[in-house]
Structure 1
């Protein structure tokens, strides 16, 4: 079985993330969308909330499952028989950073990283930008799944009270 991982924080998941996951799902037998548990960084959504949203929005992809990990990605890959890491790249800066990570991961484990260019219609979308726009009441619904837009609206409406 050819299994790949799409790692990230997914705080929150965007349509750009889903585009990468969907395209990767056509190339591998199984895709694991792995949410990084970073205890030193407070997210807008808890890891459990992110896992739940990801499970819901990836349901149409029958060969995609979601999981969480802590520590080194290569250790997660070894433990789950993952043979490739899929990374979406939007701009040259993404590539510069991701190339260093890919080379380190390969050196540590021999696991290959495949870079997938983002669909141009999603090239400006980032979770950070989505959160910033949503925080100020902007409409992010064209850029995230409906469930995520609703959760963002609820989260920031509660924060304004």
Structure 2
């Protein structure tokens, strides 16, 4: 089974994340959305809630599996049988960072990274921006998938 793992904090899962998953779905037998849990990092929502939201969004899509993980992402790839990792690129700065990370991940695990460029309409959307707007009472609905009911 050809599996790709899409790691992130997804706090929250945005329309940009959804776009990347939807674009890669036709290319793989299975897409594992892996919600990273970092006990040292403060999150806007619990990992359980984030997972539940993403599962609701992809309910009815048998190729999508949602998990949580701690530790190195390449170890999560190994556990899931994923030989590929999906990463989104919004800017040249993102590209340089992701390229270096992809090189290290390939060296230590053999996992290849697929970089997809974010669609232009989503280039400015990030989870941190959505969280900040939300904290000031702004309606962030346009930045969240339409099926998403929480945040």
TM-score range, shorter chain: over 0.9
Q: Which residues of structure 1 form unaligned runs of 5+?
A: 153-161
Shift of 1:87: 0.5
2:41 corresponds to 1:28: no
- Verify the 8 A CA contact 1:18 1:58 in the aligned structure 2: no
Query: How do residues 7-26 of structure 1 correspond to structure 2 at under 5 angstroms?
Result: 7-26=7-26
For 1:44 and 1:25, locate their aligned partners in 2 and report how far apart those are by CA, in whole Å: 28
- Structure 2 equivalent of residue 151 of structure 1: 150
- Distance of aligned partners of 1:33 and 1:124 in 2 relative to their CA distance in 1, 3 Å threshold: same
Structure 1 stretches of 4+ with a deviation exceeding 4 A read none
- Structure 2 equivalent of residue 121 of structure 1: 121
Q: TM-score, normalised to structure 2's length?
A: 0.95
For 2:145 and 2:25, locate their aligned partners in 1 and report how far apart those are by CA, in whole Å: 18
Number of aligned pairs?
151
RMSD: 1.2
Residue 143 of structure 2 aligns to a residue whose secondary structure is coil
- Verify the 8 A CA contact 2:53 2:150 in the aligned structure 1: no
For 2:138 and 2:27, locate their aligned partners in 1 and report how far apart those are by CA, in whole Å: 35
Larger Rg: 1
Shift of 1:59: 2.1
Question: In terms of mean alpha carbon deviation, does 138-147 or 85-94 score higher?
Answer: 138-147
2:5 corresponds to 1:5: yes
Residue 99 of structure 1 aligns to a residue whose secondary structure is helix
- Verify the 8 A CA contact 1:90 1:123 in the aligned structure 2: yes
- Verify the 8 A CA contact 1:7 1:85 in the aligned structure 2: yes
Q: Which residues of structure 2 form unaligned runs of 5+?
A: none
